[in-house]
Homo-oligomer: A and B are copies of this chain.
């Protein structure tokens, strides 16, 4: 599709609904309203629905009184699609001034009508009855009607999904998530929930967030000690004295051959005194602050009885399922506590990580290529209206890019060749020097995919020195069976590898990297018992959304962005 041939709205509907050209109006089953999408996203733009009585609910995008206040036009959106339904309401039906403010919620009964000839829309809605209104005081509404920057919107994260851009991103994100599940389910993969709280560190490096209850416990204790101070030495001495006395009393009674009843009563008193003493001694040991042992924090007192972190990847854990269920994937949040303030990094982001048994690097690349193409095609089939909005507003080329990627076989080039290509580039000066052994920088990746090949590129067989220990060592002993998928606009979208399945080789790789074996013993067990050739990759879900939408800052493609200094709500 050429950049400037974006189809008009009525063609669009035909495109998005090819499988059922005239779908029925869909009532939201658990709410008394008809989805506006099912009115407007029809081949005829909804024209044939004239005369139908429906109930709709949504929020006013823009409203204006007309005809000297005798009626009002409202553009109403219910989130089901980017388009608004044009609503006409008479002043005899409701006080118009209470309806026209941007952001007002309206729930309306009425009738679909053909609009006057020459108007843009094919159908409009005339209100018979107002069921409910959620008003807005326009003087106080934090989202004025003027065009707002994405940066401004990050400060009103709870209201920003009301904007065209953030709601379109939400629908695209939703579509990509369901497409992800559908793709892997269709291919027999099982979805595995890998843990969020972990005691393993996947990469053996990386800044991780700590998960703890120690600080909270320490604060509780401090408060308690202020309210109820620990016993003094004198208190303990006094309690010791009581024990002594009670002990002596028992001995005296026994010596005097007193009655069983008397002795037993006296023993009970002694026991109580001893209990009291040990309680006081226990309390006297309490110290404000996090509990320490030998000068170090005593993690045996933490919730999990050891140090725990937020996961940086579910890969190692999902491998334990691949090594018996064959084809699996995980899709969940991952975390990096890096102090990077770039437009490409979040502290909390989502990753899709399939893992395939009986698969080598070629199979892995095949899966990655098919998956990315499936995502692109899915968006074109299901979100074309939202993509057209993004093309109009942010990135003219986004639909072309999706179309190209969905239908073009990915170029595959080994790392050594990619470096040679980059070394011979004459028309551009890179900021980072290219030579065999470097990790490709974003500028190199984008040059390969955008300029050299002008399509997605898979670079494979990277130097072992720049890759993780679990990647399979190639026969040249210099490279590993790793691969990165590079796409225009974002560069690296996917990183993956065939995993090292040979016990001795992976043990040596761990040691060579200066890592201890002990924390990986469970992972090594997967190689010790019934080891299998297997491969997998990770797709940064937000990167995929950046690629699809053309939005520049990753903070705008996740509902609640977390980055240094910010975790609103």
Contacts and interface: CB of A to CB of B under 8 A. Distances in A.
Contact of A567 (B185, B192, B210, B308): B308
A525 interface: yes
A190 interface: yes
Specify which of A33, A177, A193, A197 lies most central, judged by the most chain B CB atoms within 10 Å of its CB.
A193
A326 B80 contact: yes
Contacts of A210: 211-213, 215-216
Given A187-B30, A366-B29, A529 B199 contact: no
Contacts of A134: 501, 529-532
A303 B337 contact: yes
Interface stretch (A6-14, A235-243, A557-565): A557-565
A569 B522 contact: yes
Interface stretch (A272-280, A352-360, A455-463): A352-360
Nearest to A327: B28
Interface string A306-337: 10101000001100110111110000110101
Given A80-B188, A310-B211, A320-B159, A167 B325 contact: yes
Interface in A47-95: 57-60, 78-80
A318 B207 CA distance: 29
A526 to B, nearest CB: 7
A107 B436 CA distance: 37
A92 B560 CA distance: 62
A196 B196 contact: yes
A333 B348 CA distance: 13
A57 B358 CA distance: 7
Given A178-B185, A326-B57, A197 B347 contact: yes
Nearest to A297: B215
Contacts of A356: 28, 30-31
A357 to B, nearest CB: 7
A410 B104 CA distance: 36
A363 interface: yes
A105 interface: yes
B211 A569 contact: no
A304 B194 CA distance: 25
A170 interface: yes
A348 B297 CA distance: 24
B194 A560 contact: yes
A478 interface: no
A375 to B, nearest CB: 15
A385 to B, nearest CB: 14
A560 B142 CA distance: 43
Nearest to A542: B193
B363 A30 contact: yes
A199 B348 CA distance: 14
A509 interface: no
Given A562-B197, A569-B195, A529 B132 contact: no
A324 B211 contact: no
Interface in A171-187: 171, 173-174, 177-178, 181, 185, 187
A141 interface: yes
Contacts of A57: 326, 357-358, 532
Contacts of A173: 191, 193
A213 B212 CA distance: 10
A367 interface: yes
Interface in A229-280: none
* Residue from the set A199, A303, A333 with the largest chain B CB neighbour count within 10 Å: A303
A155 to B, nearest CB: 11
A161 interface: yes
A105 B530 contact: yes
B200 A569 contact: yes
Contacts of A523: 158
9 contacts: A28-B356, A134-B530, A141-B529, A161-B320, A170-B190, A192-B559, A214-B215, A305-B564, A317-B569
Given A31-B326, A104-B530, A141-B529, 12 more contacts: A30-B370, A79-B326, A80-B188, A80-B326, A107-B533, A170-B321, A209-B213, A209-B303, A306-B567, A316-B569, A320-B569, A333-B333
Nearest first, the 5 closest Cβ-Cβ pairs linking A and B are A79-B325, A134-B531, A30-B367, A195-B560, A57-B358
Interface of A: 26, 28-33, 35, 37, 57-60, 78-80, 103-105, 107, 132, 134-136, 140-142, 157-159, 161-162, 167, 170-171, 173-174, 177-178, 181, 185, 187-188, 190-200, 207-216, 219, 290, 297, 303-306, 308, 310, 316-317, 320-321, 323-327, 332-333, 335, 337, 339, 347-348, 350, 356-359, 363-364, 366-367, 370, 501, 522-523, 525-526, 528-533, 558-560, 562, 564-569
